[in-house]
Structure 1
């Protein structure tokens, strides 16, 4: 979202994701170019609006992250560094390595191709994974390109699941009971673009025949109240697309989940940032049926996160806990029979925003792994 403040100050809106979601008295996170910084400060002062500079040199922080990931060798699983962010090529090479070195527990496949022709890879992780009717948990990361902690977490979770399978009875039981379908990078085109061109790119990279702006919000493009609470304008960050499932990435994942809807018992989508665990609905305030079951799973997940480092996550319906939006994958999953549907907003609450330092990858992923385990364990309990 590009927001004009005053007459001629252009800023990049980080939180919330749309101008329409800004409320009186709420905080707003914006990114502004160096040449406009002083002008923005003057304008805010004149309007008596309190502000704090969280990151004074954004470019320096960007360079730290993009350079560290590519500067280390990645020839084997032992050498792979889970404490840095990785490019799309590195992540896909890592997926192939996992598939090659853990043949009994991992299977790699593609659910389709992106707008720019990249494969949409998924890892199936689980003990006894070839059981055709085995229940499953779906988890995707990297729906919004600039949220790099998402793909980092999906990789971390796979690593932890495989490494602990042989000695951790809880993880072994979960992997024997469920197959985990894990998609480290949903929005492959956008994620690649965030590494090569625009670190803060959010959308997909599809083209519109009538507009020069590219891409749609892959979390506003699902066929559930499509474009009812999103933007119809192609240049907006929350653009809902030309139609429901217009984005090939969304269409491919939706088709896969439809085919496996009887098996998939939980849907988890990893985002950043806000430190929240959200469940349906996003598009309306009405409570879902069996609310206590889903709310209990979210509460256990929040407690699991807190147990690691004392970090507090809010949890509840997305419409009241975060904001109202439509066309989300979580609502779609719920509407298509996946009762346990969640969206995580990982660290932090705004100090670093989309530039979560690499030093925080490990604690963030450690606590989130506990939360996913808690949700998967909740599926094994009888809740009526």
Structure 2
């Protein structure tokens, strides 16, 4: 890893690139590289000079975006070393945390906010780690609507996991003073999975910072891992994926073959038809993506989702001037099949968004810890706008609000009648 560089170049004269052994970051499969596309790729230090010479010979413009990835990795580790003790009073949301600290944090959140938060096991991984999730909302005897959020489906996308923690913190810290959040929590339950790909996330801390997949053995143990965001039953294995288990976009031996995927499907299907929105959090690219990835044809709710996402992107920009691009995955990113967001749309969930967080290329998957806070602030602000739209159009008035108005009116009416009769006497 030390000395590895990431390069960007414009394929203006080269035609389709046929070097699948390179670690492609954007796009993530060679088949999606065409003349004129911008490509991000990690180059091993031992091959950097040869790569440069080849690009010069082909007259392909390029630039070095990250001189040495190991420096960024070391910085992430150093930032974490400042905050190992886990308590809600001192928990640092501006550094990346390993999974044991995240799970301890979840326990403490549950204990501190028992009126709103329950802590559950979604399922288990191949390496027998629990996958935990929060259910956040006021208890109700009636069936409530639901919003589901998965984070960390790709192991190396640490900012996605950091955002999930930030999201939970902000919901719990703000709802008392925020009428919108108070109403949402009374009518909607938030289901938040901070680390869906638990095995892969641990592996990205211990062995390979840029690991993407889970860790289930494949092809009789000759290789490991399935890309969980290619494993859902949404045109599974048809486009923008690989059936080669050594490739990072390997879709698995069959749809929903992985324990993590099965666990998500099981819970969401139990909640249907009450799931209003599915959010899946990723990095990088600064995009708000709509279904679909496997076709250009839009989803049923495409127009409303697009207009809402555009407003959310405008709101997001107000925070730190970040620009997020809105559009369908196949149109503005690349073709892909088997994603959780597309599966959610196929399940008739009205709103299904993929957020690709910071940045747009300077750091890629190695987003520095100092970028966590502004990233989370701007994205949370955009989601509040989306929640406001859901409240306005899909949630009714709170129970008791009409009764309260009626009671007040009756009290006033009785008072007026009494005065009238007193005057008449």
TM-score normalised according to structure 2 size? 0.86
Query: For residues 292 and 42 of structure 1, do their structure 2 counterparts lie closer, same or farther at Cα, with a shift above 3 Å needed?
Result: same
Q: Which residue of 1 aligns with 2:160?
A: 150
Q: Which residue of 1 aligns with 2:203?
A: 193
Query: For residues 334 and 40 of structure 1, do their structure 2 counterparts lie closer, same or farther at Cα, with a shift above 3 Å needed?
Result: same
Cα contact 1:98–1:106 (8 A) shared by 2: yes
In the alignment, which of 39, 48, 72 is matched to residue 61 of structure 1?
72
CA RMSD of aligned residues (A): 1.8
The answer to whether residue 259 in structure 2 is matched with residue 248 in structure 1 is yes
Q: Which residue of 2 aligns with 1:162?
A: 172
CA distance in 1, matches of 2:140, 2:85: 29
Secondary structure at the counterpart of residue 79 of structure 2: helix
Q: Which residue of 2 aligns with 1:205?
A: 215
Q: Which residue of 2 aligns with 1:17?
A: 28
Secondary structure at the counterpart of residue 365 of structure 1: helix
CA distance in 2, matches of 1:139, 1:31: 30
CA distance in 1, matches of 2:126, 2:286: 31
CA distance in 2, matches of 1:178, 1:277: 23
Q: Which residue of 1 aligns with 2:336?
A: 325
Q: Which residue of 2 aligns with 1:221?
A: 231
CA distance in 1, matches of 2:30, 2:18: 16
Residues 319-372 of structure 1: CA distance to partner in whole angstroms, max 9, x if unpaired?
102111111111111111211011111111111000111111000000110122
| More moved, 224-233 vs 289-298 | 289-298
Q: Which residue of 2 aligns with 1:178?
A: 188
**CA apart distance, 1:79:** 0.7
CA distance in 1, matches of 2:253, 2:288: 29
CA distance in 2, matches of 1:15, 1:294: 25
Aligned pairs for 1:38-187 within 5 A: 38-126=49-137, 128-187=138-197
**CA apart distance, 1:131:** 4.2
Query: For residues 10 and 325 of structure 1, do their structure 2 counterparts lie closer, same or farther at Cα, with a shift above 3 Å needed?
Result: closer
CA distance in 1, matches of 2:307, 2:20: 45
CA distance in 2, matches of 1:257, 1:9: 35
Secondary structure at the counterpart of residue 52 of structure 1: strand
**CA apart distance, 1:316:** 1.4
List structure 1 runs of 4+ shifted beyond 6 angstroms.
5-9
Q: Which residue of 2 aligns with 1:294?
A: 305
Query: For residues 132 and 68 of structure 1, do their structure 2 counterparts lie closer, same or farther at Cα, with a shift above 3 Å needed?
Result: farther
**CA apart distance, 1:27:** 1.1
Cα contact 1:6–1:43 (8 A) shared by 2: no
Q: Which residue of 1 aligns with 2:405?
A: none
CA distance in 2, matches of 1:195, 1:377: 37
Greater gyration radius: 2
**CA apart distance, 1:55:** 1.3
Residues 26-74 of structure 1: CA distance to partner in whole angstroms, max 9, x if unpaired?
1111112222211111111111111111111211110110232144242
**CA apart distance, 1:132:** 4.5
Secondary structure at the counterpart of residue 28 of structure 1: strand
Cα contact 2:232–2:256 (8 A) shared by 1: yes
Cα contact 1:10–1:32 (8 A) shared by 2: no
Cα contact 2:226–2:252 (8 A) shared by 1: yes
| More moved, 160-169 vs 184-193 | 160-169
Residues 248-302 of structure 1: CA distance to partner in whole angstroms, max 9, x if unpaired?
0001111110111122110000011111111111111112223222112211221
Cα contact 1:73–1:79 (8 A) shared by 2: no
Q: How many residues are aligned here? A: 378
Secondary structure at the counterpart of residue 393 of structure 2: coil
Gaps of 5+ in 1: none
**CA apart distance, 1:149:** 0.3
**CA apart distance, 1:78:** 1.2
Secondary structure at the counterpart of residue 151 of structure 1: helix
In the alignment, which of 329, 346, 356 is matched to residue 357 of structure 2?
346
**CA apart distance, 1:176:** 2.3
Query: For residues 130 and 63 of structure 1, do their structure 2 counterparts lie closer, same or farther at Cα, with a shift above 3 Å needed?
Result: farther
Gaps of 5+ in 2: 1-15, 395-425
Q: Which residue of 1 aligns with 2:271?
A: 260
| More moved, 299-308 vs 128-137 | 128-137
TM-score normalised according to structure 1 size? 0.95
